[in-house]
Amino acid sequence: QVQLAESGGGSVQGGGSLRLSCAASGSSSNINTMGWYRQAPGKQRELVASITSGGGTKYADSVKGRFTISRDNAKNTVYLQMNSLKPEDTAVYFCNAEVLVWDGTSWWGWGPGTQVTVSS
């Protein structure tokens, strides 16, 4: 089993910055892609950014140029640096990770989420 724990959420004024962290523990030696999703009230969960074990990244158009995803493979930790925050970035942010299984399959684990609130 793999457990994910997010930290770094909070409240900030528009234009400010926050850095989210997500550490994987347990059987975390076979983690491939890690990512961040967010869910605002009344909306579907959406991909914010993802990063493969090799460093390949993907971003939602709405955060390109403002958010940066990175990871420390030795620590099984993924980060999300969020700059120039806007009120529309307000959401619960979830970390997820793709865990590879010996038989070639994989499954996705999720953290409990951390609240990010941006005021105007």
Residue of 97, 91, 82, 83 whose CA lies nearest to 38: 91
Interval 33-71: pLDDT, tens: 999 999 999 999 999 999 999 999 999 999 999 999 999
Is residue 28 very low, low, confident or very high in pLDDT (cuts 50, 70, 90)?
A: low
Residue of 67, 62, 71, 64 whose CA lies nearest to 98: 71
Residue of 95, 87, 73 whose CA lies nearest to 20: 95
**pLDDT (mean) for 61-88:** 96
Contacts for 23 with CB less than 8 Å, ≥ 6 apart: 4, 5, 7, 75, 76, 77
* Beta-sheet pairing, 77-82 with 106-110: unpaired
Calculate the alpha carbon distances from 9 to 20, 30, 38, 55, 96 in Å. 6, 27, 12, 24, 16
Interval 96-119: pLDDT, tens: 999 998 888 999 999 999 999 999
Structure tokens at 2: 């793999």
pLDDT at 2: 86
Which amino acid would we find at residue 65? G
